[in-house]
Amino acid sequence: MGKNFAKIDKAECKGCKVCVSACPKHCIHIGSDINQLGYQYAVFESDECTACGLCFYSCPEPGAITVYKDE
């Protein structure tokens, strides 16, 4: 438990929140910091990630999210 995670590249994120809604485990939120594009970017913070990939598949920005599965 706890080793699955989603890595979000803040430079690629446009803060659309689609991944926030997509995650069934509520692992992702929009932080208060702003990236170089001027967007408040998504932050992964959780021990509950199941590596389901829904955040990855929902994100419209190629390369913004990478999911790592503990195995």
SS3 6: strand
10 binds ligand SF4 (CB under 6 A): no
Q: Comparing C-alpha atoms, which of 71, 8, 68, 67 is closest to residue 42?
A: 8
Phi, psi of 55 (to 5 degrees): -65, -45
Q: Is 49 in the site for ligand SF4 (CB under 6 A)?
A: yes
Q: Is 65 in the site for ligand SF4 (CB under 6 A)?
A: yes
Shorter beta-carbon distance to ligand SF4: residue 52 or 71: 52
Residue ranges binding ligand SF4 (CB under 6 A): 6, 8, 13-19, 22-23, 25, 27-28, 42, 49-55, 58-59, 61, 64-65, 67
